[in-house]
Copies of this chain bind each other. A is one copy, B any other.
């Protein structure tokens, strides 16, 4: 159930019933969503740790599928570019990624996975995308429906 508790009986005056019911559905969704988000985060933390990586570092490895400027990786991770430096430093120390100069713009550093990094990426994909909490318990059809609904919600502009 959501934060807003459902009334015990029917609406006394019979007017606010619709609005209350609608608010209840929204409240329920937000609540389960938050619950699942917590589990999903834990899933990523625990499974990334199996490879000796933080969840953030693992996410970075998953997102390096072609030569990528630092800023672009920051955008994909949804964080500030200043954070990427330390992430890439750690991946470099682990022998998973390296910095290469951009051929045309010398301000840009392009990030590339090493061979070991590519192996790690495949392993992470298999392990992290194996029945994560948002999807576990849903068959393929249900997953497709869920994806469609979430995409529709995401297509609604943030400031609407």
A27 at interface, CB cutoff 8 A: yes
Number of copies: 2
Contacting A3 at CB < 8 Å: which of B36, B62, B147, B155? Answer: B62
Contact (Cβ within 8 A) B33 A140: no
In the complex formed, the residue of B with least CB distance to A158 is B39
Contact (Cβ within 8 A) A133 B147: no
Interface set, chain A 118-158, CB cutoff 8 A to B = 125, 129, 131-138, 140, 142-147, 149-156, 158
Given A3-B63, A4-B129, A138-B153, verify A145-B145 contact (CB < 8 Å).
Answer: yes
Contact-residue bracket for chain A: 35 or more
A32 at interface, CB cutoff 8 A: yes
Contacting A132 at CB < 8 Å: which of B30, B32, B35? Answer: B30
Interface set, chain A 58-72, CB cutoff 8 A to B = 59, 62-63, 65
